[in-house]
Amino acid sequence: MKKNLLNILFISLSILTISGCSSNDESDPEVIVDPPVIVETDPLNTSNAATYLVDATATKETVALFYNLKKLAKTKFAIGQQAAFNSFYQDAGGDSDIKKNTGYDPAVLGSDFMFIADKQNNNQPGNWFYEEEVKIIADVKLAYSKGMINTFSWHLREPYKEETYNTSEMTSEQKTTAFKSILPGGAHHEWYKKKLDKIASVVSNLKDANGELIPIIFRPFHEFDGSWFWWGANFCSPEEYKTVYQFTVDYLKNTKNIHNILYALSPDRSYTTQADYLSRYPGDKYVDVLGMDNYGDFDNQGSTGASRANSKLKIISDLAKTKVKIAALTETGYQVTSRKSPITDWFSTYLYSALTSNNIEVSYVLFWNNTKDGYWVPNGTVSNAADFKTFSSKTKSALVNSLPKMYELPK
């Protein structure tokens, strides 16, 4: 029992610090942005919106979310945080830390399927993992009732012992065979399907007070260009990655009949060209959101890092225009702890510049979750609280109070 409790505590802590695994190499090559994209007219309209989604039979609320996110990017970006309703700096509780600071909740709530799909989740009250599932579902419903956007990542643990998603804790053999084993025909393909069955069960029961399905953005196998997760580029070929991603979408959409998901692709920040970004792209029929996770370019890199991040966002913004997709900074942040001091004007100058320069169109940005010992987003009591408040009140910034009705198509 003690070992199990320690494992649970380790898991809980590890998911809160996972972003630290991303690369922070400062010697980045130059980012090559292709010639400017010229879009004469925006082809997306309320009549044809459904045809641009991965799922042409998506619920009307899901179609509206896609349409409104795409249009939002022309004037604003939505600001979000992982586990905003349940993770607080210094365990303060109460309102989200963003609301404590600004008076408004975030526009985006990040959640994770990790505990929901855990082997120790027995779907029984009193089970720690099941209680986490209940809490996450309640948070998603609360966010939806407020008009917020819901997005899910998935820190799926390896198929052998299901103890970790970090390759640093896996054997060489496990690292080289784990992802391949979940391919169709692989030794753990049926195991993977059971995990997707659980996700499908949860997503198909995400309903509002009127019984309508709640749309979510799902980004499986994120930061796949790094080596810190077992689905990383060192452990599977581009074709193998595409095959599993495509299977995931097809299985949820066609086999399980789930029609309230937008699908996101989100590598880390290693790409420097459009070709790099598309090297593991599953195809236009499988991706709704072109994302990027980027911590390293903002890790005390000043205007140089912000400019580099902007160039990478420019690549996906341009792709999103030509492909009629959504572009997003799917994870970012600079964590302040007792050993890491705030960076002056990090939010209002560096991040804001990265999100808005060069006429890019980014629909949302997501910060990682606060913890007892550190924060990615300042509440109202810390020294850089004013910096975030300034950032959130800028012309192109949107908290929940600045969102349109995201789940209704304009008349």
Active site residue 331: yes
How far from the centroid of its chain's Cα atoms is residue 44's Cα? Answer: 24
Tokens of 33: 């942005």
DSSP state of 112: E
DSSP H helical ranges for 182-332: 189-203, 238-250, 274-277, 302-323
d(CA 346, CA 378): 12
- How is residue 229 annotated by DSSP? B
Residue with tokens 């290693």: 270
What is the DSSP-derived secondary structure letter of residue 234? G
Name the residue type at position 216.
I
61, 158, 223, 361: which one is catalytic? 223
User: Pick the catalytic residue: 61, 132, 158, 331?
Assistant: 331
Strands (E), 237-301: 261-265, 289-294
Q: In the numeric block, which tokens belong to residue 395?
A: 């012309």
> How many angstroms separate the CA atoms of 353 and 241, rounded?
33
Contact 111, 150 (CB under 8 A): yes
How many alpha carbons lie under 13 Å from residue 54 in its C-beta half-sphere?
Answer: 31
169: annotated active-site residue: no
Q: Please state at what angle helix 238-250 crosses helix 172-181, rounded to 10 degrees.
A: 50
- Determine the residue type at 29: P
Q: Which amino acid is present at 391?
A: F
Q: What residues are annotated to the active site?
A: 223, 331
